[in-house]
Amino acid sequence: MRVHHLDCGTMCPIAGRLMGGDRLLGRGLMVCHCLLIETARDGLVLVDTGFSTADCDQPSRLGRGFRAVTAPRLARAQTAVEQVRSLRLDPADVRHLIVTHMDLDHAGGIADFPRATVHLHRRELEAARARSTLQEKQRYLPQQWEQHASWNPVSESGDTWLGLPAVQKLAGLDADIGLVPLHGHTRGHSGVVVRTDRGWILHAGDAYFHHMELVDPPSAPVGLRVFQSAMQMNGVARHASQAVLRRLHREHPEVRILSAHDPAELVSATYRAVG
Ligand SMILES: [Zn+2]
């Protein structure tokens, strides 16, 4: 098994240092950290999908507000499908997509892999299809994924994993890849655990945004804290999810925990070549 760490959607949010950037008045930096996994029997597996080629060609569909706040670069070369090609791999071999949640910066790339099966928490798929609040109408964009045919919504009935409840190993995959409920950011937001040759990775999506949120006491640039609170669907659940991650980090430091948007974690993971 080989794991590639990809940024499938760099964003340069406003408010610079408050969002983790170097300069107070400059722009911050956020990545869309995706995992491309070369498996022995399951072909290529992509964890989170970033933006699609269609998003790059037609940025307006992402909405003016989202683009104003996050300033996504939307370069075609950054899309997952183009990065698969750059690695001299075949996009048709991407058979499985696993999304932590369906926010527009995580689900966009689904459209570029029309034959793959999308695995996600059942609650998240239902929320994305229902779009029952104004905020969910803005964060979930059906034009990114409504044409997609193959879905595998997963419920909570699995085993425990390192003390985390209800890990569901994904049906149809031979590799040890499972979904861990980490709700709060969205209704069905989940993490993805992957057993690699060099140990476990937990892709925690947007359950946290900054690596200092994994340590006790947690901290993060104030802008990221405000942003997370503004985007949460359930604050109690989100804080509980972060507590679970802090305990895992404390008790099992060998597990590489990743957030979707922390650029420092992406650099660290890339240079250590996990997997
Ligand atoms: Zn996100």
CA distances 127 to 58, 147, 191, Å, are: 25, 17, 17
The mean per-residue pLDDT over the stretch 110-126 comes to: 97
Whether residue 17 is predicted with pLDDT greater than 80 in this model: the reply is: no
Residue 221 tokens read as 């640039």
- CA 236, chain centre distance (Å): 20
Biggest CA pair distance of the chain: 49
Domain count for the chain, please give it.
1
Distance 103 CA to ligand 1 centre (A): 6
CA of 7 to the centre of ligand 1 (A): 12
Rg (CA), the chain: 17
pLDDT at 25: 55
Q: Which residues pair with 200 in a beta bridge?
A: 195
pLDDT digits (tens, 9 = 90+) for 136-183: 999 999 999 999 999 999 987 777 888 887 677 788 888 889 999 999
Which segment of 44-53, 155-164, 201-210 scores lowest on mean pLDDT?
Answer: 155-164
Structure confidence by residue, pLDDT tens digits, 69-101: 889 999 999 999 999 999 999 999 999 999 999
pLDDT digit string, tens, across residues 222-244: 888 888 998 999 999 999 999 99
Q: How confident is the model at residue 16 (pLDDT cuts 50, 70, 90)?
A: low
161 - beta bridge partners?
164
Give the model's confidence band at 271: pLDDT under 50 very low, under 70 low, under 90 confident, else very high: confident
Cα(22) to centroid(ligand 1), Å: 21
- Find the 231 Cα to ligand 1 centroid distance in Å: 10
What is the distance in A from the centroid of ligand 1 to the CA of 114? 22
Domain membership of residue 138 as a residue range:
2-272
Question: What would the mean pLDDT of 238-264 be, rounded to a whole number?
Answer: 95
CATH number of the domain where residue 63 is located: 3.60.15.10
Residue 36, both tokens: 């491309």
How far does residue 261's CA lie from ligand 1's centre (Å)? 7
Residue 275: pLDDT band with limits 50, 70, 90 = very low
Q: Distance (Å, rounded) from C-alpha 145 to C-alpha 161? A: 31
CA of 215 to the centre of ligand 1 (A): 21
pLDDT at 274: 47
CA of 274 to the centre of ligand 1 (A): 22
Ligand 1 centre to CA of 203 (Å) is 12
* Residue carrying structure tokens 């993060």: 220
CA 252 to centroid of ligand 1, rounded, Å: 25
Q: Which carries the bigger pLDDT value, residue 249 or residue 27?
A: 249
Instruction: Report which residue type is found at 121.
Output: H
Q: How close is the Cα of 197 to the center of ligand 1, in Å?
A: 27
